[in-house]
Amino acid sequence: MSQLGYYPGCALHGSSNDYEASVRACMKKLHIELNELDDWLCCGATAAHNINKKLATALPARNLAIAERSGIDKVLAPCPMCSMELIKIGNALKESPALQKEMSDIVEDTVTGKTEIVNLIQVFFEYGIGKLSEAVTKKLTGYKPACYYGCLLTRPPDDVKFDDCEHPSSMESLLAALGAEPVEWNYKTECCGAGLTLADDSVIIDLTGKILQNAKKHQANCIAVACPMCHVNLDMKQPAIAKKLGVKLDLPVYYLSDLVGIALGLSETELRIDKHFVKA
């Protein structure tokens, strides 16, 4: 069994624990052991950089220091906001010995930024599309997903470099190899409103309404995401969006790991798809 460091972040241990269950079920099926970082803490996410720049650097730096101390060279961070913060600070540390010293002093542990941070798409590609295809027990025939990357999975482009920031295609390639028919559409990297879901529903309903209607217009019968916040906004808010806009949507929103898991023969219960608001 191959091993991989694992940083769940706050969402996957809280409101999006269905995503964690899905990711863990997939990794177990592929014989990839996830080693969760010991005593990890919040990466700072949306708030820290607006409050204190040094704190916003120190929070990811401490998680990177934990990985280095544990001898973990590669860490999966399934949340795009978490992976972006960890990658961004890791790159800054590698470029600045002075920052390495400052952060090492603050977090009371050696940190150099050498740990590689990867997202879920990268893990599947590194496992191998060919090997994944061979492991399929149930082809995704009939699934026509609109692959939704959101605004953070491929950005900022100077730090996150696994796919094109404006016209990504990695999710489409992966799901097509498993038998799905991803659609071409216009909103794959538009913002869903992210954390504003807690502050201003009207913004979320407007933004996600456009995303969902565009997916529907292009004949998608489901949405594929790799972000817990995107899933919350597109799935949980969908009935309110449909009511306000006076349209019928009924688009199931799958995590990427859900669709891969289905293809590998995992059940909806194992993947926690049965916990989603819009029923598959």
Alpha helices in 160-225 (DSSP H): 170-177, 201-217
**Which stretch, 36-40, 154-158, 196-200, has highest mean pLDDT?**
36-40
190-201: per-residue pLDDT in tens? 999 876 666 678
128-275: which CATH topology? Rossmann fold (3.40.50)
237: amino acid identity, one letter? K
pLDDT of residue 199: 67
Choices 1.20.1050.140, 3.30.1360.120, 3.30.70.1560, 3.30.470.10: CATH for 2-118:
1.20.1050.140
Residue 148 exposure: Cα atoms within 13 Å on the Cβ side: 33
Section 98-115 average pLDDT:
98
pLDDT of residue 198: 64
| Assigned token pair, 6 | 């694992």
Q: What pLDDT, on a 0 to 100 scale, did the predictor assign at position 129?
A: 96
pLDDT at position 280: 86
pLDDT at residue number 90: 98
pLDDT band of residue 87 (cuts 50, 70, 90) is very high
Is 45's pLDDT higher than 90? no
Domain segments of the chain as ranges: 2-118, 128-275
Residue 245 pLDDT: 87
> What tens digit of pLDDT does each residue of 229-263 get?
999 999 999 999 999 989 899 999 999 999 999 99
Mean pLDDT value across the chain: 95
Model confidence at 1: pLDDT above 60: no
pLDDT of residue 50: 78
pTM: 0.95
Please tell me the total number of residues recorded for the chain in this structure. Answer: 280
d(CA 47, CA 29): 36
pLDDT confidence of residue 269: 97
Give the end-to-end CA distance of the chain in Å, rounded to a whole number: 32
Q: Higher model confidence: residue 244 or residue 48?
A: 244
Q: For 167-213, what is each residue's pLDDT tens digit?
A: 999 999 999 999 999 999 999 999 998 766 666 788 889 999 999 99
Apex 245 CA angle, 242 and 249, nearest 5:
35
Percent of the chain with pLDDT over 70: 98
Let me know: does 84 contact 160? Beta carbons within 8 Å. Answer: yes
